[in-house]
Chain A
Amino acid sequence: MNEIILKAENLVKEYEEGRVKALRGVNLEVKRGEFVAIMGPSGCGKSTLLNMLGALDRPTSGDVIIDGERLSQAKSLDEIRLKKIGFIFQAFHLIPTLTALENLQIPMIEARIPRKERLKMATELLKIVGLEERMSQIPPKLSGGERQRVAIARSLANSPSILLADEPTGNLDSKSSEQIITLLRKINKTRGMTIVLVTHDPNVASCADRIVKMKDGILYT
């Protein structure tokens, strides 16, 4: 179980023609099944790093290897995001007009999973996050914690290799936060899911296997 599933090689990301350096040479290795927390103050570049690790954006230089695929050589980042990455955001980002069950099927539609199978898988995932009774509710009818649980279920939709969570408890009260962290921990343990979580909250970070600190675009271990 020492296989490296996610690797950042000397990642540099500059904005505005090099005037803003968000990442200044980041190196990171994450093993399969590992739960890593990246901690740092706001503006230190941790969201930018997560964007690079999640194939949302291409780095100025350096490379990312996700489950054996080099991003610099990948034909389509969409394909990698669809199949290998599960995203969880601070603001949940659910589609407000779709029910919990329908929101889960959004990534499955693009992966061309047949309709009946989509329905079955989505129901299954809602059970895992404990929301099977709320499956036909639309997000505005759900509490913050419930919404984030739907979002976590959605991130698991196409059985990704890695979950990337950007401040997943940032919009939640302490009780809901605790439940979300417990849920992530459970997914990590029972399914062996690799999780990389970004936070500025030491309490959240403390539940990870490993904490990496970040400051001014560089990682400290």
Chain B
Amino acid sequence: MYFLTVVLKNLSRRKLRNILTIVGVGIGIGAVVSLVSITDGFMKSFTEMLKSRGTDIAVTKAKNPDVLLNSIDESIGEELKKIEGIESISRVLVDLVSIEDLPSVMIFGFDPDEFIFEHFKIIEGRKLSRDEEDMVMIGKILAKNINLKVGDKVEIEREIFRVVGIFESGNVVENGGIVMNLKTLQRLMNREGYVTVFNIKLKELEFTDSVINQIKTKFPGLEAMTSEEITRNNEGYKMAKALAWATSFIALFVGALGTMNTVFMSVFERTKEFGLLRAIGWRRRRIMLMVLGESIILGLIGGALGMAIGVIGVHLINQIPIVKGGIVGDFSAPLFAKATAIAIGMGIFGGFIPSSWASSISPAEALRYE
């Protein structure tokens, strides 16, 4: 028999109570695993989207959280091209327009000859070309929402355009928007000579740091970030992540209180037993270790259950029709490591006070206790 055997056998009493406690911990850990994996998964697919455009570094205006309000002088693009390690640059102008009943639709201005244009996949019709100033491409979601087909006319800012193709770009934002020539959009929105973002493609990824540093030194008003940094600095993502942890924290706190309640009850029931153990020579520290061990094991089993709940939970959410596979859980090893650490933490939190109490009772009094 090991010391651990004593701890485990103690947990075999009051099985139902312990199982309920484990479920409580499991729900808390499950909330962490599902919510955090969803936000992380969102970040991952957003980053992948940026990468799929072929962008290694994006240059925007510094300290401007709202991409749409960004205006950078287009001529800077020529300066950027001179930096060593940069293969090519794509200019993008982003704005909002209203179309038919929709008050705000994202509109993108691209130069069809630049690399970023390659990531659009045409479902119907064909790709826009550089000289077509009265043509647009529309994303598949927008096309479905306002029922537009190839060849249809659409009014944007009091000018008529013809739909030349319907595209699929692999991301929700572009699929719900309109794409036209950069020059046309600049004229239409009175933003001639301005772009929102420069997308940079590097010759080799190892140039990343040096290019970012050079851009920041040469153009103090600009920000240069990798795809990962863009997502990480995204306000929406930060908010979602904070919300995920805040929600989880409540569940975790409730779970930890449940654990404390269970451990306290089991300690009170065994007062005499602690008296006996102290009488036959067990030190306070051993009693504390035993009770804390019980509590940590409750936490660990709850943690394992919680991880299963989290993974299954994300899978189930994806079965809901409106979500339909739109959520990707990023179940990374660091997330599971965090969940395990939290589970142990809950055990310690729930067991610390009861175990201190159990170890502090005087053996003579505990043996008299009825």
Residues of chain A at the chain B interface (Cβ within 8 Å)? 51, 54, 56-57, 76, 78-79, 81-83, 85, 87, 89, 93, 95-98, 101-102, 105-107, 109-111, 115, 118-119, 154-155, 157-158
Q: Which listed residue, B9, B280, B284, B362, touches A154 by the CB 8 Å rule?
A: B280
Residues of chain A contacted by B276 (CB below 8 angstroms): 89, 93, 95
- Chain B stretch 269-292: residues in CB contact (< 8 A) with chain A: 272-273, 276-284, 286
Task: Indicate if B243 sits at the interface (CB-CB under 8 A).
Answer: no
The residues of B that contact A78 with a CB separation of less than 8 Å are 278, 281-284
Check A98/B282 contact, CB under 8 A, given A57-B362, A57-B364, A93-B276. no
The complex places the Cα of A176 from the Cα of B12 at a distance, in Å, of: 31
> Do A83 and B9 touch (CB < 8 A)?
no
Residue of A nearest to B282 (CB): A110
Q: Which residue of chain B has the shortest Cβ distance to A111 in the bound complex?
A: B281
Given contacts A51-B364, A56-B363, A93-B272, contact A115 B2 (CB under 8 A): yes
Instruction: List 15 extra interface pairs beyond A78-B281, A89-B276, A109-B1, CB under 8 A.
Output: A78-B278, A79-B281, A81-B279, A83-B281, A93-B279, A98-B1, A102-B6, A105-B1, A106-B277, A106-B282, A107-B282, A109-B6, A110-B286, A119-B1, A157-B280
Contact among B272, B283, B367 with A110 in the assembled complex (CB-CB below 8 Å): B283
Q: Kindly state whether residue B104 has any CB partner on chain A within 8 Å.
A: no
Given contacts A97-B9, A109-B3, A115-B1, contact A56 B283 (CB under 8 A): no
| Alpha-carbon gap, A119 to B5, bound state (A) | 14
Which residues in A have their C-beta under 8 angstroms from that of B286?
A: 109-110
Measured CB to CB, the nearest residue on chain B to A122 is B1
Give, as a whole number of angstroms, the nearest-CB distance from B220 to chain A.
67
Smallest beta-carbon distance B221→chain A, Å: 69
Q: Do B2 and A97 touch across chains, with their CB atoms under 8 A apart?
A: no
Rank and list the top 9 A-B pairs by shortest CB-CB distance, nearest first: A82-B281, A93-B276, A97-B9, A57-B364, A56-B364, A81-B281, A107-B280, A102-B1, A78-B283
Verify if B10 is at the interface (C-beta below 8 Å from A): yes
How distant is the Cα of A107 from the Cα of B281 in the complex, in angstroms? 7
Contacts of B12 in A (CB 8 A): 97
Judging by beta carbons under 8 Å apart, are B363 and A158 in contact?
A: no
Interface size class of B (residues with CB under 8 A): 20 to 34
Interchain Cβ contacts under 8 Å between A and B, 16 examples: A56-B279, A56-B367, A57-B363, A78-B283, A78-B284, A81-B279, A89-B367, A93-B276, A95-B276, A98-B9, A101-B1, A106-B6, A109-B3, A110-B286, A118-B1, A119-B1
| Closest residue of A by beta carbon distance from B8 | A97
A156 to chain B, nearest CB (A): 11
Give Cα distance in the complex from A81 to B364, angstroms: 12
Give the residue name and chain of the A residue nearest to B3 (CB): A109
Given A97-B12, A110-B286, A118-B1: A54 in contact with B6 (beta carbons within 8 A)? no
B281:A102 contact, CB within 8 angstroms: no
A contact residues around B272 at 8 Å (CB): 93
Residue of B nearest to A96 (CB): B13
Q: Which of B10, B280, B284 contacts A106 (CB 8 A)?
A: B280
CB-nearest residue of chain A to B283: A78
Contact across chains for B273 and A93 when beta carbons are under 8 A apart: yes
A124 to B3, CA, bound (A): 21
Q: Is the CB of A102 within 8 A of B5?
A: yes
Within the assembled complex, what's the spacing in Å between the Cα atoms of A89 and B363?
A: 13
Are A97 and B277 interface neighbours, CB within 8 A?
no
